[in-house]
Chain A
Amino acid sequence: MSEKKPSLGLRLYAILAYAYIYLPILLLIVFSFNTQKINVRWEGFTLHWYNELFRDQDVLLATRNTLLIAFISTLLSTIIGTLAALALQRYRFPGYTVAESILYIPVIIPEVVMGISLLVFFSLLNFRLGLTTITLAHIAFNIPFVTLVVRARLHGFDKSIEEAAMDLGANWLITFWRVTLPTIMPGVLAGALLAFTLSLDDYVITYFTAGPGSTTLPLRVFSMVRFAVTPEVNALSALWIFTVFVVLVIGQVVQRKQA
C-alpha cells in the first residue's frame, strides 16, 4: 500500500489506540514513585519502593536465576537452531519434512500443554525440578524461533562466495568460520535476542518446570501481584520495562548498522 494522507477520523483513532497501548504502562511507572501504599491516589514522590526492591532477597535471587537461565538457554538454542537453519535452507536430506514439521510444533501447541507434558516427562524420569529443568525446557521452545529467524536471513545468501573461498583453498571449517558465519551473523544475533527475551519473559512453561529455590522473575512478579499488591511491584515492573526498552533500542541500532 502506498502512503495517502489518512482522514482526520483515522488519525484521531490512531492516537487513541496508541494511548490505549501506552497509558496503562505509563501509569504503572508513574505510581512506582508514589508514597501512598494502598490506594492508587497520588500523594508524593518517593524512591522508597526502589530501595525496598534492592533489599528484597527473593527478588535478587529471582533476577539471578532468570538471567542465568536466559543466558544458557540462549547460547545453546542459538547454536542448535542456527545449525538447523543451515541444514534446512541449504541441504535436502532424508527426514527433511519431518524435521520441518517438528519445528512447527511449539508455534501451534498451547503453552500450558507443553508445560504439563514437560512436567510429566521430568517427573517420570525422577528429574529434580529446578534450574536445570527450566533451562532444558527453555532451550526446547527457543530452538524453533531461532531457526525461523536465521532461516529468513539465509534466504538471500549468495552461495558463490563460499565456493570462491573453497576454490581458494579454504577447507569447510575455515569457510564456515571466515565466510558463512560473518555473513549470517546479523540473523544469528537477531535469533539470539529473540530467544533471550522469550526466555526472560516466559511464565507458563517455567511455572510447570520450576522447583523449590528456582523462582524466576515472572514467577516472583506473579506471586507478588497475587498476594500483596504494593508499589514495590510497580518499581520492579518499571525497572523491567526500562531494561527491555534499552535492550530493544540497542538491538535496533545494531541491526541498522549491520544492514
Chain B
Amino acid sequence: MTSGGVLPLTTGERARGYLRAVGAVVWKDLAAELRSRELLSAMLVFALLVILIFNFALELDLATRQTVTSGVLWVTFAFAGTLGLNRSMAVERDRGCLDGLLLAPVDRSALYFGKSIGNLAFMLIVEAIVLPAYSILYNVNLFRPGLVVVVMLGSIGYAAVGTLLASMAVQARTRDVLLPILLFPVVLPVLISAVKATNAVLLGLEAAELWPWLNLLIAYDVIFTAVAFMLFDFVVEE
C-alpha cells in the first residue's frame, strides 16, 4: 500500500485498507450496473438465446436432456461470461476510467480482486436466473446443493482468468474478437471439470465420481487466482 501516512500502519490496518479498496471497486461496478443495467441485461438475453438455439440445434427431448444438460449450461455460461468480461473491461478503457483507478493510492492487486469479484457477481446473477429458467423450460430439477458448489467453483476459476485476460484483450487493436480466443483454450480445464461435475450431480452419482472434478476445480481456482494476482500489475502498467 502506498498511502503514506505519518504513522506507520499496523498489519491489521493495512489489511482493512486493502479490503476497503477491493470493496470500493466492487461497489463501483455494482452501483454502475444497477443504474445502467447494460451488462446484466445483455448477458441474460444472450444466455437465454443460447439456450433457445440449443433447443433447436440439439432437439432437447427427454432422453437427450439427461446427458447434455450440463454441457448446454456451461457453454451458455461461458459465452455469456465472455460478453460480460469484455464489456466490464471495455467501459474502464473507453472513458479513461482505468487511468483514474490506477491513480488511486491503492495496491494494483486490489483493483484486480475488485474487478474479478464484480465479474464473478455478474456471472452468478446470470446463473441464478438461467438455472431456474432452464429448470422450468425443460422440466429438469436443477435445485441441488451440490450444483451450487460446482457452479460457484467453476465461475470463480472462469472469472479469475477471464478478468486478467480481458484486461489484456481490451487494450489490443483486435479487442472485439480476441477475448474468447485467449480465454477458451486456457479455461478449458474449468469447463471440462465443471461439465463433468455438474453431470455427476444431476445424475446423482456417488461422491467418489464427483470429488476428482471438484479437486481439479479447486486446484485451478487457487493456482490461477494466485497467478493472476501476481501478473495483473504487468497488464495495467503504463
Say if A and B assemble together. Answer: no
